[in-house]
Structure 1
Amino acid sequence: MYRENTLSISDAKANEEQAIHQTRKINRSRLKEKLTSRDTLIIIGTLSLLIGALILVIVLQPYFERLHTERMQSFWGITLISAGFILLALKVAFLLYLVVLYIRYKSVKSVSDELLPTATVIVPAYNEGELVYQTLMSLAKSNYPQEKLQLISIDDGSRDDTWQWMQKAKAELGDRVAIFQQPENRGKRHALYRGFNLGTGEVFITVDSDSIVKEDTLRNMTSPFVVNEKCGAVAGNVRVLNTRKALIPKMLNVSFAFSFEFVRSAQSTLGSVLCTPGALAAYRREAVMECLPDWINQKFMGQPTDIGEDRAMTNMILKQGFHVLFQRNAYVYTNIPEKYKNLYKMFIRWERSNVRENIMMSKFAFGKFREESTLGPRILLLNQWLRISLAYPMILLMLFLVVTHPVLFISSTLLGILVFSSVQALFYAKRHSVSESFWAYPYSVFYAFSLFWITPYAIATANRRGWLTRGLSSK
């Protein structure tokens, strides 16, 4: 049975529009404070580069036509061009599919205090220092009924002053928070495992120890479990916290917004969000307990798995037939790497997890794993596999074109970036800030020319262990 939400559809729409308006105001305010002359030069320089590439492609059109004619005279050339058009058509078709799903998406509004379930919030921490204190204090300020909220934080054998900051939070919050210390560093999965076993709530909420939540985030995260008995997990809306500190977070902020507010909104319409992010996720207690032994003992190629705990949990809950949803109105602001070295390590970890968990999902996604249609989840999975399977062919093709036709390749690549980045920019401009949306272009250029190697490398090293970014200086 489904319980009725306490808000009418018209009220829900009005509240969501108001929330969007407030978020836009916040983003505009933040932009005024952080936009520097260097930022302006980077954005203008990138746009000039991309527009220049567009002009160059027009000027070089005869050369493109000649190359096309030459390729059409050989079997391999025809095959390559045909494959290119097919892949482009698939990419555009998938994007349109997501657009249709996105239009149908609606977040669940908070239910009343009486209907809210008991919740256990688990904050694992390792070498976070003062950040864990800020996280715990932001959680304590949540407008969630105190008698229904259990707050647990676990120090996973930190080598810095994380434990001291947790003790400071405990001293200020008293019985509202319980803190525990692992005897040694065993990894985030084991810290969460301890929290799951200690938790008494009907819903588990996991929050990274370098993140800040809004006052209504927790109640928005738990409400879907009340109104939808088939909801097994919920993904939160992750935004970048440290946008004022470095260039990389500024660029990734737009990418994060598109990834969560567009892609996960579309996935949520299918009840099949592929990953509940570590920064903010919620799980139905019985769904977690059902798969907890398999989750903590998970192995890949004979070795214990110490990464991708969020995607693994999502897969195991999907496999049980539950829906996994996204709550656009549940915001968490999290710190991301500010240096290139730590950024690519984070992406490598994510991509290794994607490879592993795509294999796991493939074992059940093509069977009847739930009562509702399984076509949508299969399409999402096949798109994941298509991207991974093309990693090596595309990098080989890129190297070939760089050697044989460098000017044509670079100009056409930049034109492609201009076109597809505009999708992200337009989306961000509509929902948040027009000015800030232009960061989509520098980030796409940055990724295309400095991070293109991540997926091929992650595939080749998918069996390797290690968190990679959890040293004493993680940013």
Structure 2
Amino acid sequence: MKVNHTKNLEDKLQIEKEDRRLLPNVPDPSGRRTNVDRRQGMDGEIRDSDFRAYTASAEAGRRFKVHIPVTVTAGAGGRKQVVKGICEDISSTGMLLTLAEGEKKVKEGENIDLSFVVRPGDMPEGYEMKVKKLKAEVVRRFDRDGREALGIHFKKSLAEYHQQRRGQYLIAVSAFLMLCISLVIILMRSESVVYFRFNKYLYLYSIITAAFLLSRYFFAIFYRPVKVDMDYTPGVSIIIPCFNEEKWIQRTILGCVNQDYPPDKLQVIVVDDHSTDKSLEKIKEIIDRMEQDDRNLHIKDRVTWYEQPKNGGKREALAAGLKLAKHELLVFVDSDSFLSPFAIRNVVQPFKDKEMGGVCGRTDVANTYTNGLTKMQAVRYYIAFRVMKAAEGFFDAATCLSGPLSCYRKDLVEKYCHAWVHQKFLGHKATFGDDRSLTNFILRHHRTAYQDTAVVSTIVPKSYHVFLRQQMRWKRSWLRESLIAARFMWRKEPFMALSFYFGLIVPIAAPVIVIYNLIYIPLMHRVFPFTFLIGMALMALLMSMAQLFLRKSSTWIFGVWFCLYYEAVLLWQMPVAWFTFWKDTWGTRMTPADVREKKKKEEKERLKAEKKKAKKAGDDL
């Protein structure tokens, strides 16, 4: 795959059609307006009794701006006519279609067949497909800029159409392959037991690796999110730390406010960490727009902003927001992440358990279809949450409540805030890895959960340069916090504790194992590492098949690519992280630490240039 070094590559995101209201999902305090979509056949009673069906209906009704050529077949028998048009917006249940100029008219109420292609990126993952002769009905006909426009309702939703045409087949094939791959891996590891006495350390590592990965997939099968209780609505304060995020901050704020949650129980606090761009202007602007859009919602009473007097880092920004929070639960949301309208209602549900200390939601990739790198990350994110974190959630011991969406009991954050903000490791101040660090403080004495139905989408790096810097930062924080967690994880449920320690050993020892199998064995023993490579390929295919089974997305093949890229590139960041864990630079944005590092490099380059110039002058003499 060709590496993309384009710095100005535009992110490709689905474009949702704007509602006439800026905040359509916020319950109307006056009670004059309902959030229930009558077009989807839902009413208030169904919403209260089956919230899962209601959210599925709302998801099906999301409309996306597109430009898709459509072929319409109207009429019956020998009187059929074929007309062409352009779909301008589409949902799983219908579309708005503008007919091409000069095309024959289509009657309102007429039954038609539609053929079109949903391209990757037009709609959320899993909807990309070729549609042939989809039964539909013209429910509305009107003039649009001098052309005939049609409001069309599908007889079957696109989700149902895909399920009948390819969905069942894909599920069956991917499930069968996952089972076969798992069995082959188990058989290969059985061989490791047989040959264990010939190379104890190598075969022990093989057994641990297989046990760790397969157990995660196994326990993820039994994971279930906590069901929504409509009567359980604790007060929530959302804190958004922001530093130089003028591009996305308005969308982030809108997502946090536009929640299907009682307005009087939802507070949003935006803390600007002394940005050097127009972030603060954007923050003020969107708050004013929301206030003007619907004054009944009293936006300025519920949404506040605060500017740090100087840049202090993400932890200090969150701590500043904590002082302004007035509700019992705190939700942290990154400034480039966008909540689904039902994220808050879902993420609070596990707190009905009084022992619950923190919960994280599922993070999807917002810019999946930008390029190959973002597609690779989309697969990695989904498997990391829906499989790996779900397995931890099964034991109420999620080891990292991720930054895009995490929820904590406020009293616990207040209890650990000072130690968290001023955390040091081996004498060095910890300036990143804030989410994993705070999780450790909470997890030591309380439960932490994963709520798969609380969904947030985030912007991921689109260039390999930024991606590698991000991964290096994550590995440093993972190493630091995993060593800290190792001190107390043995107290947790035995299966969870064992899985944690296996998960700690595998990536740390992986570079040595790869060198031994791919370099030492071939050179010293003249043996091709066929078994080792087959094992790597099977692990990669297992990830891809899980993506295909769970999401039915065309991105599944990038699971294989991620595993190959991990072994070839990302794996070798781990040894670097061992010896540079104290570094406090982010690498992906200019924090004060990054500014200092940049100045040091510039000073070294200047001195080097001066020495070179002086040497040249001496040679000339």
Bigger share in strand: 2
- Residue 463 of structure 1 pairs with residue 567 of structure 2: no
**Structure 2 partner of 1:430:** 549
Q: Secondary structure at the match of 2:487?
A: helix
Q: For residues 578 and 129 of structure 2, what CA distance do their matches in structure 1 show? A: 37
In structure 1, list runs of 5 or more residues that go unmatched.
1-5, 33-67
The Cα of 1:129 is off from its aligned counterpart by 1.2
Query: Bigger shift: 17-26 or 354-363?
Result: 17-26
- Residue 28 of structure 1 pairs with residue 126 of structure 2: yes
- From 84, 97, 108, give the equivalent of 2:226: 108
Q: For residues 80 and 166 of structure 1, what CA distance do their matches in structure 2 show? A: 64
Q: For residues 348 and 31 of structure 1, what CA distance do their matches in structure 2 show? A: 36
**Structure 2 partner of 1:65:** none
Q: For residues 442 and 229 of structure 1, what CA distance do their matches in structure 2 show? A: 42
Amino acid of the residue matched to residue 116 of structure 1? Answer: T
Amino acid of the residue matched to residue 205 of structure 1? Answer: V
**Structure 2 partner of 1:62:** none
- From 369, 372, 375, give the equivalent of 1:250: 375
- What are the equivalent positions in structure 2 for 1:299-338 lying under 5 Å apart? 299-320=424-445, 322-338=446-462
Query: Bigger shift: 425-434 or 235-244?
Result: 425-434
Q: For residues 284 and 545 of structure 2, what CA distance do their matches in structure 1 show? A: 45
- Residue 441 of structure 1 pairs with residue 563 of structure 2: no
The 1:200–1:407 alpha-carbon spacing in structure 2 relative to 1, beyond 3 Å, is farther
Q: Is the 8 A contact 1:102 1:266 kept in 2?
A: yes
Query: Bigger shift: 265-274 or 393-402?
Result: 393-402
CA distances 1:255-290 after superposition (whole Å, capped 9, x unpaired)? 111100011111011110000001110001122122
Amino acid of the residue matched to residue 139 of structure 1? Answer: C
Point out the structure with max Rg over C-alpha. Answer: 2
Q: Secondary structure at the match of 2:528?
A: helix
**Structure 2 partner of 1:49:** none
The 1:118–1:421 alpha-carbon spacing in structure 2 relative to 1, beyond 3 Å, is same
Bigger share in helix: 1
The Cα of 1:404 is off from its aligned counterpart by 6.0
The Cα of 1:152 is off from its aligned counterpart by 0.5
- From 336, 339, 346, give the equivalent of 1:213: 339
The 1:210–1:405 alpha-carbon spacing in structure 2 relative to 1, beyond 3 Å, is farther
- From 175, 181, 184, give the equivalent of 2:310: 184
The Cα of 1:428 is off from its aligned counterpart by 1.2
Q: Is the 8 A contact 2:392 2:398 kept in 1?
A: yes
The Cα of 1:11 is off from its aligned counterpart by 5.6
Q: Secondary structure at the match of 1:235?
A: strand
- From 347, 350, 354, give the equivalent of 2:471: 347
The 1:405–1:348 alpha-carbon spacing in structure 2 relative to 1, beyond 3 Å, is farther
- What are the equivalent positions in structure 2 for 1:229-248 lying under 5 Å apart? 229-248=354-373
Query: Bigger shift: 155-164 or 273-282?
Result: 155-164
**Structure 2 partner of 1:41:** none
The 1:295–1:173 alpha-carbon spacing in structure 2 relative to 1, beyond 3 Å, is same
Q: Is the 8 A contact 1:352 1:461 kept in 2?
A: yes
Q: For residues 359 and 87 of structure 1, what CA distance do their matches in structure 2 show? A: 19
Higher relative contact order (CA 8 A, sep 6+): 1
The Cα of 1:99 is off from its aligned counterpart by 3.2
Amino acid of the residue matched to residue 218 of structure 2? Answer: V
- Residue 118 of structure 1 pairs with residue 271 of structure 2: no
Q: Is the 8 A contact 2:508 2:574 kept in 1?
A: no
Q: For residues 171 and 195 of structure 1, what CA distance do their matches in structure 2 show? A: 20
Q: Is the 8 A contact 2:511 2:572 kept in 1?
A: no
- Residue 408 of structure 1 pairs with residue 528 of structure 2: yes
The Cα of 1:346 is off from its aligned counterpart by 0.9
The Cα of 1:172 is off from its aligned counterpart by 1.6
- Residue 156 of structure 1 pairs with residue 254 of structure 2: no
Q: Is the 8 A contact 1:249 1:337 kept in 2?
A: yes
- Residue 418 of structure 1 pairs with residue 543 of structure 2: no
Q: Is the 8 A contact 1:236 1:331 kept in 2?
A: yes
Q: Secondary structure at the match of 2:277?
A: coil
- From 266, 274, 289, give the equivalent of 1:172: 289
The Cα of 1:92 is off from its aligned counterpart by 2.2
Q: For residues 56 and 358 of structure 2, what CA distance do their matches in structure 1 show? A: 25
Query: Bigger shift: 302-311 or 88-97?
Result: 88-97
Q: Is the 8 A contact 1:391 1:456 kept in 2?
A: no
Q: For residues 182 and 360 of structure 1, what CA distance do their matches in structure 2 show? A: 30
Q: For residues 452 and 526 of structure 2, what CA distance do their matches in structure 1 show? A: 42
Taking structure 2 as the reference length, the TM-score comes to 0.62
The Cα of 1:13 is off from its aligned counterpart by 8.0
The Cα of 1:386 is off from its aligned counterpart by 0.7
The 1:406–1:418 alpha-carbon spacing in structure 2 relative to 1, beyond 3 Å, is farther
- From 261, 279, 282, give the equivalent of 2:407: 282
- From 477, 482, 489, give the equivalent of 1:365: 489
Q: Is the 8 A contact 2:365 2:457 kept in 1?
A: yes
Q: Secondary structure at the match of 2:127?
A: helix
Q: Secondary structure at the match of 1:359?
A: helix
Q: Is the 8 A contact 1:31 1:436 kept in 2?
A: no
Amino acid of the residue matched to residue 209 of structure 2? Answer: K
Q: Is the 8 A contact 1:144 1:219 kept in 2?
A: yes
The 1:21–1:401 alpha-carbon spacing in structure 2 relative to 1, beyond 3 Å, is farther
Q: For residues 508 and 536 of structure 2, what CA distance do their matches in structure 1 show? A: 21
Amino acid of the residue matched to residue 464 of structure 1? Answer: K
Q: For residues 242 and 462 of structure 2, what CA distance do their matches in structure 1 show? A: 19
The Cα of 1:219 is off from its aligned counterpart by 0.9
Q: Is the 8 A contact 1:414 1:445 kept in 2?
A: no
Q: For residues 11 and 406 of structure 1, what CA distance do their matches in structure 2 show? A: 63
**Structure 2 partner of 1:58:** none
Q: For residues 58 and 536 of structure 2, what CA distance do their matches in structure 1 show? A: 31
Amino acid of the residue matched to residue 546 of structure 2? Answer: F
CA distances 1:189-222 after superposition (whole Å, capped 9, x unpaired)? 1111111121111110011111111100111111
- Residue 85 of structure 1 pairs with residue 203 of structure 2: yes
In structure 2, list runs of 5 or more residues that go unmatched.
1-44, 63-91, 93-122, 131-190, 292-299, 595-621
The 1:273–1:177 alpha-carbon spacing in structure 2 relative to 1, beyond 3 Å, is same
Q: Is the 8 A contact 2:239 2:332 kept in 1?
A: yes
Aligned positions, number:
416
**Structure 1 partner of 2:118:** none
Q: Is the 8 A contact 1:417 1:441 kept in 2?
A: no
Q: Secondary structure at the match of 1:275?
A: coil
The Cα of 1:448 is off from its aligned counterpart by 1.9
% identity of equivalent residues: 26
The Cα of 1:305 is off from its aligned counterpart by 0.9
Q: For residues 513 and 500 of structure 2, what CA distance do their matches in structure 1 show? A: 20
The Cα of 1:103 is off from its aligned counterpart by 2.3
Q: Is the 8 A contact 2:273 2:310 kept in 1?
A: yes
